């Protein structure tokens, strides 16, 4: 058509340039030391978990053949945010009360401080024990402990002050293997006793509790047993 400029010729692209655009450079492989470090870390983690699982599986449940004891030690568990006993805490105290009623020991030592909120675990458990028929004279409180190591240490201090030499330890079943490791260093005769849950627990919830305890066992074996050891 008259008046229109002639069309511009198409520019030919260099084939080598097209190939460079089409094929991006391959990513550099990760350095060998980094891969080795990751593999080594995974190996150590698996080894530690296996060590803790085996230690929990084969930990003795007692160091005595006694059937009657000087005291029943109920290990603490947090109350709720309003100061009411949680199901785990209630299950432990109720089992301690049943053992007392069966004549296993003439007194309860309830141990646990305000480790997770402002409520002292031992005091909340004492209210439960009294409501279930335990006389005040048979209840001894340990209100300072913030973990299981301190539970064992401070409860043993109470026993030594009264010249008591043996105790049944009551706690949730998943907690007992680690508790047995800790009480194994205390100068008393002891036997572990599980507190059954108040209601059936789902396998998923039970698995979470067991996994958490296995991790705490790893921490105890490689760290807490040496840095937090408490001499009664």
List the domain boundaries for the chain: 71-227
Number of residues that this document lists for the chain? 232
> Does residue 74 surpass a pLDDT of 60?
yes
Check whether domain 71-227 has CATH 3.40.50.620, yes or no: yes
**Tens of pLDDT along 118-155?**
999 999 999 999 999 999 999 999 999 999 999 999 99
Evaluate whether 214 touches 182 at the Cβ level (below 8 Å).
no
Chain mean pLDDT for the chain: 88
Residues 86, 95: Cα–Cα separation, whole Å: 14
Handedness of CA 190, 184, 111, 177 (dihedral sign): negative
> Does residue 20 surpass a pLDDT of 60?
no
Percent of the chain predicted with pLDDT > 90: 66
- Output 91-94 pairs: Cβ under 8 A, ≥24 positions apart: 91/172, 91/195, 91/196, 91/197, 91/198, 92/125, 92/170, 92/171, 92/172, 92/195, 93/125, 93/128, 93/129, 93/132, 94/128, 94/132, 94/195, 94/198
Confidence of residue 13 (pLDDT cuts 50, 70, 90): low
């Amino acid at each position: 058509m008259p008046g229109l400029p002639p069309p511009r010729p198409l520019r030919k692209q260099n084939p080598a340039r097209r190939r460079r655009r089409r094929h991006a450079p391959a990513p550099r492989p990760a350095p060998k030391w980094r891969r080795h470090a990751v593999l080594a870390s995974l190996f150590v983690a698996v080894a530690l978990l296996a060590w803790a699982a085996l230690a929990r599986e084969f930990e003795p449940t007692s160091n005595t053949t006694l059937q009657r004891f000087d005291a029943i030690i109920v290990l603490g568990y947090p109350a709720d945010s309003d100061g009411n006993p949680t199901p785990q805490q209630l299950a432990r105290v109720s089992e301690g009360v049943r053992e007392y009623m069966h004549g296993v020991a003439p007194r309860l030592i309830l141990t646990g401080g305000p480790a997770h909120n402002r409520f002292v675990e031992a005091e909340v458990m004492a209210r439960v024990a009294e409501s279930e028929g335990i006389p005040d004279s048979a209840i001894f409180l340990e209100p300072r402990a913030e973990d299981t190591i301190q539970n064992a240490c401070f409860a043993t201090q109470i026993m030594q002050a009264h010249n008591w030499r043996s105790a049944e330890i009551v706690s949730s079943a998943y907690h007992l293997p680690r508790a047995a490791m800790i009480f194994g260093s205390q100068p008393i005769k002891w036997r572990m006793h599980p507190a059954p849950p108040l209601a059936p627990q789902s396998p998923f919830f039970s698995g979470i509790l067991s996994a958490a305890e296995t991790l705490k066992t790893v921490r105890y074996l490689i760290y807490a047993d040496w840095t937090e050891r408490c001499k009664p």
